[in-house]
Amino acid sequence: MNSGEIARMAGVSVRTLRHYHQVGVLPEPARRANGYRDYTVGDLVRLLRIRRLAELGVALDEIPPLLETGDRAGTVLDELDRELAQQIERLTARREVIARLRAAGAGPDTPPDLAGVLASLGAAPELPARMLQHDRDVVMLLHHRLDEDGRAALAGLLRQVAEPDVLAATTALTVRFAALEPDAPDADIDRLVADFHRALGHLSYDGFEGVDPRTGALVTAYQETVLNDAQQRFLARLVANADGASGPRPN
């Protein structure tokens, strides 16, 4: 049999066959006078055994000793079973995350613990798409940078904002924020800052006190790339005028 014939009979590709030769799991047979490899039925049987072991997940470097003696067969099967059990646990956890994202109508890149609340915050049709994207990006950045306590604080803040009365006020204010022109006068910015504090000043930011300066700098750097001058001035004044405020605050 030549390479194509044995590969076809074993149900593998010629490329896979050559790879088995390269890694030494399948010895190369002698060549005929015409230069083609001459495979025997014994080679076919070995190739079938290799294919079966590979399909089970046995590493290629583990295959030769199994083919020769089989002394490690029980150990290898135990290891494979343990690895598969771990994979099943990981896959089951992923499916659970997917189910939560689907139930919330959230995108696949959404942190699962925030899926429901972010879906609520993004449901208002009057919010500009770019503002929604900005808020989601900031939340994603914060969620990545915060520790477990910080993430819990972030989720708690977002749940506060998602309350119907608060969400209505936040939506109206965010629409005004999105409408700020780059050269908006200071009076308009100060009025919006005052309205934000009046409507949302009761929100609790407990848990953000320990946010590291680097995280705040990253949020600021991101906002500088997507917000105009007036919007950045507004955010700076909003934080500066907040009583006892510290650390980055999601919009």
Tell how far CA 33 is from the center of its chain. 56
Express each pLDDT in 98-148 by its tens digit. Answer: 998 888 888 888 888 888 888 888 777 888 888 888 988 999 999 999 888
What is the CA angle 129-135-136, rounded to 5? 90
Query: What is the model's pLDDT at position 11?
Result: 94
Closest CA to 43 of 59, 58, 27: 27
State the number of CA atoms in the 13 A half-sphere of 179 facing the CB. 10
Query: Given a cut of 80, is residue 248 above it in pLDDT?
Result: no
CB atoms within 10 A of CB 161: 20
The span from the CA of 33 to the CA of 246, in Å, is: 82
The span from the CA of 199 to the CA of 171, in Å, is: 11
The span from the CA of 185 to the CA of 1, in Å, is: 85
Express each pLDDT in 32-82 by its tens digit. Answer: 888 888 999 999 999 999 999 999 888 898 888 888 876 677 888 888 899
The span from the CA of 108 to the CA of 235, in Å, is: 29
Q: Which residues of 181-208 are buried (b: 16+ CB within 10 A; e: fewer)?
A: eeebeeeebeebbeebeebbeeeebebb
Query: Given a cut of 60, is residue 228 above it in pLDDT?
Result: yes
Cα end-to-end span (Å), the chain: 70
Question: Is the distance from CB of 220 to CB of 249 less than 8 angstroms?
Answer: no
Query: What is the model's pLDDT at position 70?
Result: 65
Task: Pull the structure tokens for residue 177.
Answer: 């924020």
The span from the CA of 247 to the CA of 199, in Å, is: 20
Report helix, strand or coil for 69.
coil
Q: Please give the DSSP secondary-structure letter assigned to residue 163.
A: S
Task: Pull the structure tokens for residue 56.
Answer: 């089970």
Mean per-residue pLDDT over the chain, rounded: 87
Query: What is the model's pLDDT at position 50?
Result: 93
What would you measure as the largest C-alpha separation in the chain, in angstroms? 93
Query: What is the model's pLDDT at position 122?
Result: 76
Query: Given a cut of 50, is residue 247 above it in pLDDT?
Result: no
The span from the CA of 167 to the CA of 92, in Å, is: 34
Query: What is the model's pLDDT at position 251?
Result: 45
3-state helix, strand, coil split of the chain in percent (to 5) is: 70, 0, 30
Question: Is the distance from CB of 166 to CB of 200 less than 8 angstroms?
Answer: yes
